[in-house]
Structure 1
């Protein structure tokens, strides 16, 4: 729900069949697509089995292809995509998600990679390495360390996010921590706004909204398209970080240690109103 709390419209969620009812129960506004494969899809046919609980390689490939055929027709409708939160580590799910991620990158749709999506990229950096477009990875300090190790760069220091971005050669990085650091290969922005340690996956949704708006803003520039100031991806990172940190700070002030993600989400709209007013 964080998407429309910062001013977006429709949110689609792609998940497994088993998770669909629970996710739909969060809000009637969510459009839920139970297209991701899961364990139950391994029970499709006995003749496809190679052993107890196992499908043949050909049968698993067909399960993934079936999911891809269901998901990809939706992609042209989206202004931004988030891959990762709640994804899990199931092999069929990750194989499907990696294919979807490739499609998103090829189509130039703004992309945020978070949570288990970072685990997927950590295992196969080529999914995003060298890809130029509106792509942001949002690691915490542990996730950044794993990515840095996979790419052979130093994970410590004030410019760790920038080194990782350089190694990625295209995507930007939003390193979450006591200070949020947004970096690309050329520079970085830091957000030190007071916040809370509890932010959940709210930041990735807000960032996707900001990236979609920034992309549209770039497309509408007149003249020769030149701009001054930081790149759009870094501005989207900074703006979403600022708003989420302010909202988390307010939520914690109200609820203290009992604060949860819904309390933070409730503060997003008022924070945006305070920052931008009627603009």
Structure 2
């Protein structure tokens, strides 16, 4: 149904999966997004992801972060709910559970060894101190963004694995980005064959994951057909996951199905732009699930058949990419090289309205 559609036609189709604001809805039905990430050193990434989800239209937006990162993230905005449930090994509270020699040993270990081996002390700490609180939000949330600002601390990484496993148990969609993609490059089985998983790698992150399966390098490849071939192959190897390969274009692939978003964005690269995309993506994706589940009445008469589940998901990815790119373009026009992610996010509402609230679409 989507094959051969123009960018403008895809945007028009995307409007069908945007959840309407009906008077009988109660708070939360518009989407409950949970961003899991943020350590002491990296507090901006989870904020930008969660804030973007909220600005696009999710009803409730949560951040689960490292305890020391929580006060910082809370200070950015009162609009988000911030939960200090994670711990790095350097957190002073951890010394009550681990000896100095344990902390020194785990800190020095390679992440490959940390994730491939069982450590009872890690498991006991995570299952007693972290998971009981995190599970409450896993049960309440609709969709999860995992990885922004997570860092590479060994206790945090082990916690990430446990959290991903629990999300798979409740069978809810999740988006893996940033440090979660590094985890996938070390152990793809953590997400392999989970069809509700979405990966959002940039060129380098894609290359790392592809190398794990000995796929041909496309880091410097300019031939679109070859890039598509390898991206499609990786999607199939991973068991039908959706991959958004970021770059000068966004290539959105699920098996043999794909969309391309080449709308004008900004050549300015600044930390937080990718996090903005994942936040927008979370809201659009959960709306696509709600569309499939019949949250609102479909038109009695439609010129086109009802969207397939896979098509609605691809359109959600396309819409998120489009609104992020347009906001980036508008922000760059205003700020030039001084563009920062906070400025980009101030244009998300305007970009959304231009693409989806009007009949006249932006020039592509």
TM-score with structure 2 length normalisation?
A: 0.71
**1:184 and 2:236 matched:** no
Matches of 1:204 and 1:61, distance apart in 2 = 29
1:32, CA displacement in angstroms? 0.9
- Aligned residue number for residue 209 of structure 1: 283
Contact 1:114 1:204 survives alignment (8 Å): yes
2:309 equivalent to 1:246? no
Aligned: 1:152 with 2:203: no
Give the alignment of 1:95-110 within 5 angstroms.
95-110=158-173
TM-superposed CA distance for 1:232, in Å, is 2.5
Is residue 271 from structure 1 mapped to residue 351 from structure 2 by the alignment? yes
Count of aligned residue pairs for this structure pair = 275
Could you tell me how far apart the structure 2 residues matched to 1:116 and 1:216 are?
28
SS of 1:173's equivalent in the other structure is: strand
Aligned to 1:257: 337
Give the secondary structure class of the aligned counterpart of 1:158: helix
Q: CA deviation at 1:168?
A: 0.8
- Counterparts in 2 of 1:226 and 1:273: CA distance versus 1, 3 Å: closer
Secondary structure of residue in 1 paired with 2:227: coil
Q: Is the alpha carbon distance of 1:190 and 1:170 closer, same or farther for their aligned partners in structure 2, counting shifts above 3 Å? A: same
Q: What SS is found at the alignment partner of 1:239? A: helix
**1:63 positional shift:** 1.7
Correspondence for 1:43 among 89, 92, 95: 95
In terms of mean alpha carbon deviation, does 83-92 or 104-113 score higher? 104-113
Correspondence 1:132 to 2:157: no
Gaps of 5+ in 2: 1-50, 107-117, 219-225, 299-304, 360-364
Closer, same or farther in 2 for the Cα pair 1:213/1:32, shift >3 Å?
A: same
Give the C-alpha shift of residue 54 in structure 1.
Answer: 4.6
Match of 2:121 among 55, 59, 74: 59
**CA-to-partner distance for each residue in 1:56-86, whole Å, 9 max, x for gaps?**
9433222211211220121121121100100
- Asked whether the equivalents of residues 10 and 29 of structure 1 are also in contact (C-alpha less than 8 Å), the reply is no
Q: Deviation digits for residues 35-73 of structure 1, max 9, x if unmatched?
A: 112122441146x56556357943322221121122012
RMSD: 2.3
Runs of 4+ in 1 over 6 A off after TM superposition: none
Please name the residue that 1:70 is paired with.
Answer: 133
Please report how far the alpha carbon of residue 154 of structure 1 lies from its aligned counterpart in structure 2 after TM superposition. Answer: 2.2
Q: In the aligned structure 2, how far is the partner of 1:175 from the partner of 1:45?
A: 41
Gaps of at least 5 residues in structure 1 are: none
Deviations 1:143-171 (A, max 9, x none): 00001011232242321321211111121
TM-score by length of 1: 0.91
Q: Is the 8 A contact 2:251 2:259 kept in 1?
A: yes
